[in-house]
Structure 1
C-alpha cells in the first residue's frame, strides 16, 4: 500500500503525462542508457516532423526574426515546442508541469494581435520560454520539488492564490510577448547540484544518461539540451544555473544580485540575505542570453521590485569590447586570468583540457592570459555554508514535513534529517563581516593584476571551471566551490560549452596522489568510459554588475572556439 505522500506524488506524475495528447505519447520502449546513451539530436528528432525540427532547432533570436515579422505564427512555434518538450519529458522526466492548452490559447491571442495591428506585441512576441518550477505562472502549479506543495500555494491550502499568482519576472516576460508552456523539475529546497525529487524521480543527463543533468535548474538544462526550449529562466545560489548549463552543453548567465526581479518568487530560507539567490536566463545560444537580458531590462524591473538596481542595459560595454577586439592588430588586447585549480581540488582531466583549449584560443588570437591566484576559495565557501545554515534548515525540513516525504539524500547530506540549532544574530553579523572582508581582499587582488598585464590595467575577466567534474554519476556531486565562490563574491558569470569528454584523450593519471579527501573524491569519481561524450563547459567571470561586458567577453571566447 502506498504511503500518502507516495500516492500524491504518483498522482502528480501521472497528471503531467495525462496532459500530453495521445498522438504525442511515445509508443516505443525507451532503450536503456547502455544501449542509447544520448537521446538528444537525431534520437529525439525521429519523433518530430521536419517543420517541428526546423522550428525547435532555431535559437531564440532566429525564432523572433520569424514571429515578429509574421513569417511564423506564434501558434506553430508554441505547438512545436510543446510537442518537443512533451517528448523530452517522456525521455528524461524533466518537467513538473506542462500546460499545452494555455500556451496555445496565448499564442492564438498573439497571432490575432499581429494580424490586427501588423506588428508584434513586444520584442519577445511568440517566443516560448520554459520556467524552473520555482516561478509562479498564472494557470499553473508551483511545487518547487516538494510533494507537500502539490495542490497548494507554497504549502498552504485554500489561499485563493493557487494558479492565480504570478512572479514579477513572469509578468514582465509575458508583457514582452513570451509564451509559457512548461515548468521544469528541481530538487526540493533548490539546494542541490543534482536534480532529484519524490515526484518525478532522478533527472539524468539527456546527452549521457549515466550521469546527472546537474542542479538545481537541472530540468532547464536537460530541456534545453534536448532543444525542448529555446530559452529558460533559472535561479542560482551556488551554481544552480551554471552547473546544469555546463553539464548539458548550453549557455547560462549568473547575473549579480539586483539585476533581475525576484519579487513574488518563492525560495528556501527566505530572509537569508548574505548569499542571495539570483535569477538568470539559460539558452541554446549566447546571443539568446543577450537578447532576453536586454528585453527584460527594457521593462524597468526596478519599478516593480525594490531589490532591483536601476541599471538599464548598457550597449556601450559590448560596443567598447568590439572596438577593442578590432584593434588587436595594434597594441590593444584583452587580458584574462585563468584559474586552473583552486586551493583544494584539481579538476578532472576533461575540465583541465577545456581550460587549455580556451587559453590556447585566446593566446593565438593575441589576447593575454595570466595565472589567477586569488585569496583561498575555501574561505569563501565557508562563508556560504555558514549563511545557508543560519536557521538550521528549519524552512526546508518544514516543507518536507508537509507531506511526510523523506528528505532527498543530497539535501540530507548538508541539512540532516531534522533541523539543527539556529545561528545567533551575532553569528550572522560576524559572517557578514567575513563576507565583506573577503570581497574586499578579492577586489584588491583583482586590481593588483594591473601589475602583471601588458596594458597596466587589471584583467577584464577570469576563466574558471564551473565544476571540477566532467559530469557526475548520481549522488556524487560533492565539491561546489568553483561555482559557489562566484555567489559569495556576487560577480557576473557566463557558463559556456567548450568540448566533450573523450575517453581516448581524457585519461586518468594513475600516479596522481590526492591532496585531501575532497580532491580524492573528485579524482575517483571520474570514469572515462562512463563519462565519454558528456559536455564540458567553463565560466567566464566578470566583476559585479558587469553582465553586458561579461556576455560580450563570452562571445569573444566562444567565437574563437568555433
Structure 2
C-alpha cells in the first residue's frame, strides 16, 4: 500500500463507501459478465432482480407516478424503495452514482405518507416523485465532489441548491446524485473516483457528459426524472445517447443558484439547469411544477416568466394543423463536421414527417458555427484552466482529457475578457439577425419557429453559445445495414476526417439516435409542444416506455 498514491486510496475508499450504502439484499450475486458477453444492461438483465410490483412502479413515467401517489393508490414509501432498489442495481451494472442517501429518502417518503393519511391530499404537485440529481447539485448533508478526488475531503453541504429547495417544497423525494466527468466538464463521464459510466444500451459505448450518470440511470429505469446542467450539450448529449428526452432551458428560466461549478464567476456563457426524462410529457410536467414555485423570487438571475400553458397549447394546435402552418429550419451540417449516417437519417426522418404534415422546412444557413466553437472555447479558458487544475492539485490526481489540458496556462487579462465578450455578443446579434431575416423566405411572414439539428457531432453545438434553448428527442437506432457513409465520401477537414474514421457501424448497431429541436430564448413551451407532437407522430410510446 505504501507505493500506491494517496489519491488512489481515497478513490478506492469512496467507491467502497458508496457500495456499502447499498443494502445486502440489493447486491448483485455476481458482477455482470464483460460487455463482450453481455453488452446490454437493460430489459431482463436488470428486471430479473426486481419484483413485479417494483417493475410496474419503476417503468411508470413521472406523471403516472404522481397520479398514483396523489390519489393514494401508491404509497410514497413503496415508490421510493422501488426506485432506490433499481438505482442500486443500475450503479452495480454501469457505475452511475456518486452519492446514495436511500435512508433519508425513505424517511422522507414516510413523512409524505403520514401527511396524506392525515390531510387526505398530496403534499405538493410532485407528491412522492423520486428525482435524481447530477452530482454538481448541492444537497444538505451530502457531499459534492464534481469528480474531483480532492473535493472528497470537503464536509457535507450545509446548504442546498435552489432547485433542490423547490423540489422538496413540491413534494419530490431525492435519493441519489449521479456521476459526472472529472470537473463536470467533458463529453465522456469518466473520473478517477468511480471510473467510467457505461451506456446501458451497449456497455462498449459511453453515456456522454457531463450529466452522464443521469442519462444512464434514466435509461435503466433507476429514475423517472432527473436534473442535470448544460453549457455545451451536457444535458442534451446524455439524453440523446441514452434514448431519453432532455431540455436545455434558456439562460435564466430555471434557478441555477447554489450549484457547484468548475468555472465559478464565468458568466459570459452561463450554465443552466434542466430536466431529463423517459417521456416527453415529463419535461413539460417538471418545468410547469418548478416554475409554479416562482423561482425568480429566490434566484436574482431567473426571469419572471411563469409557465404559459396557452403558449404550449397554441404550439401544439399549430403542429397538429388546426392553425397556420409552422416553419422549421434544418441544419444538415454545421460546416465543422458532417453528421454521421444514422444522425443524417434521423434528421431526414423528422424533416419528412413535418413536411408530410404540411409544415414548411428550409435549409438553415446561419453565421459560422466554427466561429461559435472558437468563442465558446476562448471564454471557457479565460482562467487558463486554473480552477480545474487547482482542484486536481488538492489530491495530486492526474487530469483526464478536457479542454483544460494537462496543466494550467496563464489566465487572460481583463481587456482580453472584454474583447471575448464583445465577440460573443456580436455573434449572438448576428445569429438573431439571421433568424429574424427568415421571415422573408418562410412563406408564413414569420421567422422560423424552431430548428431541427443534430444534438452532437464533433465540437459542442451552437445553441449553447447563442443562449437559445433546445430539447432532445429519440428518433431511431443505428442500423448497420443502412447507416453507411457513401462511397467516396470526402471529409470536410481534419476534424471531420477523424469523425469519419472513428465511425464503427458494427459496434454502434442498435444504439439510440436522436435529434435536437432548438427554439428562441424563453420559448420552452413552444419547443416542448413541438417535441411532444413530433415524438407522438414518430411513435413515442414505442420508444420511451420500453426499458
TM-score range, shorter chain: over 0.9
SS in 1 for 2:71: coil
Quote the offset at 1:365 in angstroms: 1.5
Contact 1:99 1:182 in 2 (8 A): yes
Q: 2:474 aligns with which of 484, 489, 497?
A: 497
Contact 1:141 1:151 in 2 (8 A): no
Contact 2:316 2:530 in 1 (8 A): no
* Residue 434 (1) aligns with residue 413 (2): no
Contact 1:362 1:560 in 2 (8 A): no
Contact 1:338 1:463 in 2 (8 A): yes
Q: 1:191 aligns with which of 185, 205, 214?
A: 185
Show the counterpart of 2:102: 100
Q: 2:170 aligns with which of 172, 176, 196?
A: 176
Provide the C-alpha distance between the structure 2 equivalents of 1:185 and 1:389, rounded to a whole number of angstroms.
Answer: 24
Structure 1 unaligned blocks of 5 or more: 154-161, 469-478
User: CA offsets, 1:246-283, max 9 Å, x none?
Assistant: 10000110011111111111111111111111000100
Show the counterpart of 2:121: 119
* Residue 82 (1) aligns with residue 84 (2): yes
Provide the C-alpha distance between the structure 1 equivalents of 2:356 and 2:274, rounded to a whole number of angstroms.
Answer: 32
Show the counterpart of 2:264: 270
Counterpart mapping for 1:412-427 below 5 A: 414-427=403-416
Provide the C-alpha distance between the structure 1 equivalents of 2:378 and 2:507, rounded to a whole number of angstroms.
Answer: 35
SS in 1 for 2:160: coil
Quote the offset at 1:495 in angstroms: 0.7
Show the counterpart of 2:368: 376
Contact 1:131 1:183 in 2 (8 A): yes
Quote the offset at 1:86 in angstroms: 0.2
Contact 2:230 2:271 in 1 (8 A): yes
Quote the offset at 1:428 in angstroms: 1.0
Provide the C-alpha distance between the structure 1 equivalents of 2:8 and 2:319, rounded to a whole number of angstroms.
Answer: 57
Provide the C-alpha distance between the structure 1 equivalents of 2:170 and 2:205, rounded to a whole number of angstroms.
Answer: 36
Contact 2:335 2:492 in 1 (8 A): no
Q: 1:42 aligns with which of 41, 44, 51?
A: 44
Provide the C-alpha distance between the structure 2 equivalents of 1:239 and 1:529, rounded to a whole number of angstroms.
Answer: 26
User: CA offsets, 1:321-352, max 9 Å, x none?
Assistant: 13323545x7x211100001111211101000
Counterpart mapping for 1:515-526 below 5 A: 515-526=492-503
Provide the C-alpha distance between the structure 2 equivalents of 1:334 and 1:298, rounded to a whole number of angstroms.
Answer: 29
Show the counterpart of 2:508: 531
Show the counterpart of 1:66: 68
Q: 1:480 aligns with which of 459, 463, 482?
A: 459
Provide the C-alpha distance between the structure 1 equivalents of 2:459 and 2:45, rounded to a whole number of angstroms.
Answer: 32
SS in 2 for 1:189: helix
Show the counterpart of 1:243: 237
* Residue 385 (1) aligns with residue 387 (2): no
- Quickly say closer, same or farther: Cα 1:68–1:561, change in 2 above 3 A: same
SS in 2 for 1:494: strand
Quote the offset at 1:188 in angstroms: 1.9
SS in 2 for 1:415: coil
Q: TM-score, normalised by structure 2?
A: 0.97
Quote the offset at 1:507 in angstroms: 1.8
User: CA offsets, 1:387-423, max 9 Å, x none?
Assistant: 0010110000000111111111x22xx2122210111
Provide the C-alpha distance between the structure 2 equivalents of 1:257 and 1:524, rounded to a whole number of angstroms.
Answer: 36
Provide the C-alpha distance between the structure 1 equivalents of 2:277 and 2:529, rounded to a whole number of angstroms.
Answer: 15
SS in 2 for 1:406: coil
Counterpart mapping for 1:255-266 below 5 A: 255-266=249-260
Provide the C-alpha distance between the structure 2 equivalents of 1:428 and 1:48, rounded to a whole number of angstroms.
Answer: 54
Quote the offset at 1:437 in angstroms: 1.1
- Quickly say closer, same or farther: Cα 1:343–1:28, change in 2 above 3 A: same
Provide the C-alpha distance between the structure 2 equivalents of 1:224 and 1:325, rounded to a whole number of angstroms.
Answer: 28
Counterpart mapping for 1:212-227 below 5 A: 212-227=206-221
Taking only aligned residues, the RMSD between alpha carbons, in angstroms, comes to 1.1
Quote the offset at 1:510 in angstroms: 4.3
Q: 1:405 aligns with which of 374, 391, 397?
A: 397
Contact 1:102 1:181 in 2 (8 A): yes
User: CA offsets, 1:219-266, max 9 Å, x none?
Assistant: 000000111000111000110000000100001100111111111111
Provide the C-alpha distance between the structure 2 equivalents of 1:432 and 1:118, rounded to a whole number of angstroms.
Answer: 54
Contact 1:145 1:187 in 2 (8 A): yes
Q: TM-score, normalised by structure 1?
A: 0.94
SS in 1 for 2:144: coil
Number of matched pairs: 537
Provide the C-alpha distance between the structure 2 equivalents of 1:280 and 1:361, rounded to a whole number of angstroms.
Answer: 27
